[in-house]
Amino acid sequence: MGRLRRFAEFRFVGVRDTMIVYDCDDDEQYAQLAERVESDDLVAKNLLSSFAPDEVSEARNRGFRKWKAQSSR
């Protein structure tokens, strides 16, 4: 289980440019999110969003979609 430093108290973190929400309790999703935060400098661009209550249903209410793993074919 990982957490972004500025979002340490939040399980679900959304990225506004793609409107995707990531579950930081899922190792694969957290790794993907951490990579995007680092490579695209999402914190400085103010493109991250947290939710209250910290639930995926609240993220959906705000227009975010759940992250889906890309299939490798």
- For the chain, the structural domain boundaries read 1-13+20-46
Cross-strand bridge partners of residue 12: 23
Cβ-count burial 19-52 (b if 16+ within 10 Å, e if not): ebbbbbebeebbebbeebbeeeebeeeebbbbbe
Sequential pLDDT tens for the chain (73 residues): 679 989 999 999 999 999 999 999 999 999 999 999 999 999 999 999 999 999 999 999 999 999 998 755 4
Tokens in use for 18? 């793609």
The arrangement of strands across the sheet holding 20-23 comes to 48-50, 12-15, 20-23, 65-66
pTM to 2 decimal places: 0.89
- Fill in the amino acid letter for 56: V
pLDDT recorded at residue 42: 96
pLDDT recorded at residue 73: 45
